[in-house]
Structure 1
Amino acid sequence: MGTCTVETDANISSGLESNTTGITTFSMPGWQLALWAAAYLVLVLVAVTGNATVIWIILAHQRMRTVTNYFIVNLALADLCMAAFNAVFNFVYASHNIWYFGRAFCYFQNLFPVTVMFVSIYSMTAIAADRQEAEGYIAIVHPFQPRLSAPGTRAVIAGIWLVALALAFPQCFYSTIIMDQGATKCVVAWPEDNGGKVLLWYHLAVIALIYFLPLAVMFFAYSVIGFTLWRRGVPGYHAHGANSQYLQAKKKFVKTMVVVVVTFAICWLPYHLYFILGNFQEDIYCHKFIQQVYLALFWLAMSSTMYNPIIYCCLNRRFRSGFRIAFRCCPWVTPTEEDKMELNHTPSLSRRVNRCHTKETLFISGDVAPSEATSGQAGGPPDGVTSES
């Protein structure tokens, strides 16, 4: 959250100045703490349950195991871990301004949040730029380039995690436990440098890499995709008859992912601006009201972890069926045979192959959405037509 006496730490698990053990300058009344605790508890329960369900829907059903959906699993896993391992512990730290969780978890808490946030946003970026998926930038704008294979998908996911760990490593390396006027603190004790410029540039670079740069890439990718779909149609396909349904389904998928990206951007923007301001005006952390501001901004940022499952359920037929099956034990949820067929049966497909230019004309019915990807040849069928294991 920042501190008045030690250098501001623009990571997910910074703390405030304290005065005494157990009771700090920023201790709040019990009723206020209970309200914040309830808000964070609801957030964590919805995020963990929703993202775990998304992972189950994809991994437990072969029809759902597609390239796009593997990136969605990666995104859901990152969001689940963010809610489970960062929201709770950082809320306790921010509300009491005392670190209760030991040295090892201090290292973890300064490594993991930046890592999973990087994984989240770059999983979304990979979906936007995916060359195999029919809804991705390369597949729509350059449909005849080589597709992304299953091993390639695993390599991209592994690369995202490795780069994320490398980016967060400096904060973990310089993490330490200190005693500040009788209170235990988990801080990042950066080495002395000329006016703190190294620290400032590191923080700005992290925010640029985990927020502004990938959002700019996705804005460009989805802008070109939208122009291609809404103005010129899909290269290599004619938008008439059954193919018109295909085009509409792809538009629906793009709308879904745009909602996901915009939601993420809105949730995290105030939080990043808060820390950018704190790097230039550190005295803001000394005002008592800043605790309430921080808890509100941190809740908004963490809430991004619970919206994606809701978006998938509302905008995608197969995920909606999956959620009904997953929560069939609830008395108000009644899955149907159609729900089971959505996840377990391959839809009928009539294919005419036009051998000129290796293009295929497809006649399909149904919804194409994040769960509906395929491994066709270059210029081949869109994701959702067949399943890929």
Structure 2
Amino acid sequence: MDDQHYRENITVQYCFPDSNASCRKEIKDGIGYFLLCFVLSCISVCTVFLNLLVIISISHFKQLHTPTNLIILSLAVADFLVGLFVMPVNIMQLMDSCWYFGTIACYISPIISFLAMYGSLYSLILIAVDRFIAITDPLQYSTRITACKTVLFIILGWSFYLCYVIMYLYFNDYFIQPELSTHCYGECVLVVKYSWAIIDLVVAFIVPCCLILFLYSTIFKVARRQAKAIRAVNNGASSKNGGKMLGSSEIKAAKKLGTVIFVYLTCYIPFYLSSVSVNSLTSTSMVWTVFCWLIDINSSVNPLIYAIFYTWFRASVKCIVTCRIFESSSSKFNLFSDN
């Protein structure tokens, strides 16, 4: 009965009626699909808008040009790509099973999707390393971690993952033999081999996440030791002030960015567990669709975390929304005046 009801609510047409090789088009015309696509479209717009605010804030205000914020900028760029390109494509494929943008766009689309995903992961690795050095060696932090070094590592990391994505798609026969996964005109499907699902699980998830978790476990062990040391010497004014400078602020920053990483793991673990549960996973399967959207929604959550935890973000957004950003001296505004 359910299958019959499902078939009654799907009108089968053709993607390109003038072509004999055209794929069949499935248009989901139920009210449920309309509401779902409307909600997802709102999420896409919010993702673009919120991450654009982060990008503008860190890029414009000189006070925010710190190594940690540059890594947050890298994360915001990855999330921005998800909202601008990945989400609209996924929404379109939910509404209409056809691919109208041609072969070249079909090749480029998964490159952008995977690069944005891996860009987020790499940014989180850099955040963990940055906080690890800030906590374990605070006196040498400013000399070991500079803005120039941070930009260099960001560029190198994104370049590495771009090469990895191209290799990943190449060895899944996505470039050289598209006919293996595409059987008609108007279809864009990625079929991931089980062997590469395992490789990707190890290279792009298990190893980076183990590294992140190890760094953060060390961070919080050191933070607890620092907290005990601060309490032990809190009777001396100078010691207490120094303890706050070297311990409290860095510990709070680690906890805030640790929240970002916890949300990331929550959104990504279901996708990677499902990727190794079957012999091959296609981009048209319902499992792929649901878990990919869970990953995409993670890109919407990150800027909300910034808005909750970071006063500089709220102050910079106020300047942007009130158009004070267009003042000649706006780049030198003090965003921490309320602290």
TM more than 0.5 = yes
1:317 Cα deviation after fit: 1.2
Letter in 2 for 1:137: F
**Residue in 2 that maps onto 1:138:** 133
Q: Within the alignment, does 1:186 sit opposite 2:175 as a pair?
A: no
Name the SS for the 1:345 alignment partner.
coil
Q: Within the alignment, does 1:242 sit opposite 2:241 as a pair?
A: yes
Q: Is the 8 A contact 2:75 2:123 kept in 1?
A: yes
Where does the alignment leave 5 or more consecutive residues of structure 1 unmatched?
1-18, 131-135, 191-198, 330-334, 349-365, 368-389
Quote the Cα distance in structure 2 between the aligned partners of 1:43 and 1:140. 35
CA offset digits 1:328-353 (Å, max 9, x no partner): 37xxxxx9xxxx999723979xxxxx
Letter in 1 for 2:202: A
5 Å matches for 1:1-389? Answer: 21-22=14-15, 27-130=27-130, 136-143=131-138, 144=140, 147-173=144-170, 174-175=173-174, 178=179, 182=184, 184-188=186-190, 199-233=193-227, 240-246=239-245, 247-279=247-279, 291=286, 293-328=287-322, 344-345=333-334
Structure 1 pair 48–347 and aligned structure 2 pair: CA distance change class (3 A): closer
Pairwise CA RMSD: 3.5
Name the SS for the 2:186 alignment partner.
strand
**Residue in 2 that maps onto 1:353:** none
Instruction: Count how many residue pairs are aligned between Structure 1 and Structure 2.
Output: 305
1:32 Cα deviation after fit: 2.3
Q: Is the 8 A contact 1:108 1:172 kept in 2?
A: no
Q: So what's the TM-score if we normalise by structure 1?
A: 0.68
1:235 Cα deviation after fit: 9.3
Quote the Cα distance in structure 1 between the aligned partners of 2:222 and 2:74. 28
Letter in 2 for 1:50: L
Name the SS for the 1:185 alignment partner.
coil
Q: Is the 8 A contact 2:311 2:336 kept in 1?
A: no
Q: Is the 8 A contact 1:111 1:171 kept in 2?
A: no
Structure 1 pair 251–310 and aligned structure 2 pair: CA distance change class (3 A): same
1:24 Cα deviation after fit: 5.2
Quote the Cα distance in structure 2 between the aligned partners of 1:228 and 1:312. 24
1:255 Cα deviation after fit: 1.3
**Residue in 1 that maps onto 2:19:** none
Letter in 1 for 2:136: V
Percent of residue pairs identical:
22
Q: Which has the higher contact order (CA 8 A, sep 6+)?
A: 1
In terms of fraction of residues, the more helix-rich structure is 2
Q: Is the 8 A contact 1:140 1:225 kept in 2?
A: yes
Higher mean alpha-carbon deviation, 249-258 vs 140-149, is at: 140-149
Structure 1 pair 48–222 and aligned structure 2 pair: CA distance change class (3 A): same
Name the SS for the 2:100 alignment partner.
coil
Q: Is the 8 A contact 1:91 1:295 kept in 2?
A: no
Q: So what's the TM-score if we normalise by structure 2?
A: 0.78
CA offset digits 1:266-301 (Å, max 9, x no partner): 112222222222336x6x999xxx63x544333221
